[in-house]
Each structure stands twice: as C-alpha cells, then as structure tokens.
Amino acid sequence: MWRYVALFSGARKYCSTQSNYMLNELCIVVDKCDHVLGFANKKTCHEVLFGKSLLHRAFSLFLFQEDTSSEKNHRSLKLLVQKRSANKLTFPSLWSNTCCSHPIMNFPDELIESDAIGVKKAAQRKLFHELGINNTFVPLNRIHFLGRVLYTAPNEPCTQAAFAEHEVDYILVSVLDPVATRNLPDTDLMKLNPDEVSDARWMAFSDFSYMKCSPRDHISTSKTSDSDFCRSSITPWLRGLLARGLLQKLFSWAEASCGNHLQERFLTEDQSWDRTKIIHLSSEDVQ
C-alpha cells in the first residue's frame, strides 16, 4: 500500500512539473516565414483551438558520435535517440531524436537570430536538462544549423488530442569530439532526467532505413534490441525527416563534417543544405 502511494505521488509530481513548464515557459510565435509575431506560453502554443494551434519556433538537435565498431577506412556515425517520458504532456513514450524543444523568451539569449545562436543556446540548455550532457561536450562551435522544417501534427496517443505541434523546427547537428569522449562511458556522458526521458541509445542509420516507406504499424525488427522501436513509436517530426530522406542527409552531412575542415563547396548534393529555405513536411510525411 505504501509503495503504491509513493509511486503515485512521484508520478503526480512529475506531471505537475510538466504543467508548470507549459504555463511558465514563453515560446516564440512566428509566421510561416519564421518572422517573430509575439510570445505565448507552451500550453497556449500547443492547444488545439478551432482545429488549429499556434505556429511557434522550435529546434531538433541530432547528436552523433563515431561508431568505434565500424571499419577504420569508413567513417560511420551513430545518432543518440531518446524515449520521451510517459509524464510528457505531448507525445509521451515516443522515441525521438536526441533533444527537441523550444527557444523561450524566459532566456533572452535564446532570442538571438544571428547564426541561429538563440536556438543553439536553447539546445544546450535542454540537452543538459533532459539528458544531463554538459555543454563542454557540446560547445556552441560544435552545434551546426542546417535548415528548417515546418510541420503540424496532432498529439499522440489520441487520448492526448487536446494538444498538437505546429512548428518551424530548426535542424541542429553536432558530432561529439572523439578525442574528448574516447573511452568515456555513457554513464559519465549523460544522466537522464526521468521527468523528461525514460531511455536513450545510440543508433545507426540502418536501424531507421527499413522504416522509411513502412506504414504506421506495430511491426518490429530484429535490427534493434527494443521490440517497440518501429515507425509508429517515433515522433511525427522524426517520421517526416525520415520520409523525405532528410534523416539520411543528416547522417551524410555529419559524416562529412568529421574531417574538421568541412567546406560547403566540397559537399555533395546529398550532403548540402539550403539554410535560407523552410521545408514543408506534409501530413502524409509525419503520419
């Protein structure tokens, strides 16, 4: 009996924390060209009113590390993915990229638009908050802004349908310094915040590629050790990037960047990004 009460109280505390974030954090409301229109708290931005939710600025950070098991003459990377906590009010218990959140007005530096400094600082803040990864491992000069996508998606599961995402999402990529993190165990690199993240793991692109054209079903694969990792168990924005071939492009760009002398003119078409455009993901892409 007491064990049950303790667990219930903990869950209630976490949900209360998430509700506080929804009420107190002020997101940046934008138009379809990413021009700032004003500010609204997270709850207002994610509520569905008259079939719509407010378009706001967000980021998705993709953190890579070198795959030490790959052949020496072929540089291969793995992406850190997280499973969102069941306590999250939006998209609970779904797998996603390393860190997804919002720059907020509460931290004025996160409003800086030059070189996407604001969203990069927001990514550092949330990376530490959610995964306990210190900024020394992911300094600003190792976070690269590649482009933006615009999408909308209803909350999942359907029981949480009062909320939705409607975002101009900044795509950020970082590759861990292999010298600084060599032989560093994951337990020293990260400490998961259970209010935000329930699991995390490193995955190769091959672990995603089979899902690219798959319907949203519950068919699992032997490629991963987690039977619930399938297209229907990942977040809509990650589905959209996968469906449009952008996730593979992120892997390609990150692998090209590992030479430390990355120059745009040397990038292939599969690696280059147009930072001036906003890519629109369709409802079919994110389903």
Cross-strand bridge partners of residue 169: 58, 149
Write the DSSP symbol of residue 85: P
Query: How far, in Å, CA of 147 to CA of 59, rounded?
Result: 10
Q: Is residue 138 exposed (0-12), middle (13-18) or buried (19+ Cβ within 10 Å)? A: buried
**CA angle 44–126–80, rounded 5-degree value:** 120
Residues 146, 147, 153, 155: what is their CA dihedral angle, to the nearest 10 degrees? 40
Sequence-separated (6 or more) residues with CB below 8 Å from residue 186? 200
Catalytic annotation present for 156: no
Residue 196 a catalytic site member: no
In contact, 174 and 142? CB cutoff 8 Å:
yes
The token pair that represents 282 in the structure block: 């369709």
Continuous segment of H or E residues that includes residue 156? none
Dihedral through CA 64, CA 69, CA 71, CA 75, nearest 10?
Answer: 10
Catalytic residue among 66, 100, 165, 255: 100
In 25-138, which ranges are continuous DSSP H helix? 42-46, 117-131
> Which of 167, 196, 230, 255 is labelled catalytic?
167
Euclidean distance between CA atoms 237 and 252, whole angstroms: 19
Q: Which residues are catalytic?
A: 100, 167
